Amino acid sequence: MSSHFRNRIARLLVGEYLGLLAVLALLIAFFGTQTPYFFTVPTLTAIVNQIPALMLVAVGMTFVLITGGIDLAVGSVLAFSASVLGVLMVEHGVSIWMAVPATILVGACCGLVSGAVSVLAGIPSFIVSLGVLQITRGLAYVLTDSTSIYVNQSTGIQFIGGRIAGFGVSPAFLFAFSVVLVSQFVLHRTLFGRYCMAIGFNETVVRLSGVNTARVRIGAFVLCGALAAAAGIVETSRLSAVDPNAAIGFELSAIAAAVIGGTSLMGGRGSMTNTFLGVLIIAVLQTGLIQMGVSEGAKYITTGCVIVVAVLLDASRTKFSGVMRHFFGD
């Protein structure tokens, strides 16, 4: 890409960032006027402490989307990884210091399977991840015998999802936000991140320049799987239980957060901080609708409309980027 085109894309991302902040502020102001309970410290801290799992999954999804792929298995990988954590700690008495790394490794292996089969076999990641979704969900049911596993306080896992005295936020949120910042640095300041962007933009050119594009694309899936497993740990801590039915449909929320944040479904463009704002927008929207007493059906309809609008905006941004590439070159 020419420096002129990169500067245009950078300005576009900054514009999206400011636009997302404006949308978030408008949503908070709107729901604050519609219900007396929304614009309060308990509600706002509850929103912050409920989103770490989605933040982690959305960051991983952003990496995959930027490379031009998609991972629909993240929700099932979250449930499967959480099931592994619960079985290790509750049924086998494994300490948290060994169970947590093992759980993240399981998630990374799930991502490795999705990425390797898709990239090396040349099968669309949409289809491969659908298969992995079914497999990992089934494994979660097998491990837990289709029942919830309750985690004792003695395991120490509850600390992650608890609240820090005097601050109101959980260690899980601080960890997830740190992952967002680190991922933003990786995406824009490291070779791996730049290769991810370049592959989504034009994989053929990157491959002809001598880069092992398969390794980079598989790496994005591995990272996505590991972050989904981390989200499973966070959810287990928050709920003090493992549910094999957890995170059904979670992949749609993660994709929606990324796309709302400006990540292109076609690949080549994205920002982790914008994805974080996308997560906040979804969380505020859902919490506000619940407090307004909106029915479950209407909540799904409203959230679905937001996703459709985000996809339409993504399509318009993609066309705009194509026009700039035509006039200013790659």
Segments forming the whole domain that contains residue 266: 3-328
Task: Count how many domains the chain has.
Answer: 1
pTM, two decimal places: 0.89
What is residue 10's predicted lDDT score, i.e. its pLDDT?
Answer: 54
The region, left, alpha or beta by phi > 0 then psi within -120 to 50, assigned to residue 303 is alpha
- Cα–Cα distance for residue pair 319/48, rounded to 1 Å: 35
What is residue 11's predicted lDDT score, i.e. its pLDDT?
Answer: 53
Looking at the predicted structure, is the pLDDT value of residue 325 above 50? no
Following DSSP, what letter does each residue of 125-175 receive, concatenated? Answer: HHHHHHHHHHHHHHHHHHHHTTS-EEPPGGGSTHHHHS--TTT---HHHHH
Mean pLDDT of 215-226: 97
Q: What are phi and psi of 241, to 5 degrees?
A: -160, 160
> If pLDDT is split at 50, 70 and 90, which confidence band does 330 have?
very low
CA 319 from chain center: how many Å? 25
- Cα–Cα distance for residue pair 156/260, rounded to 1 Å: 36
Q: What is the CATH number of the domain that holds 161?
A: 1.10.3470
CB 294 within 8 A of CB 38: no
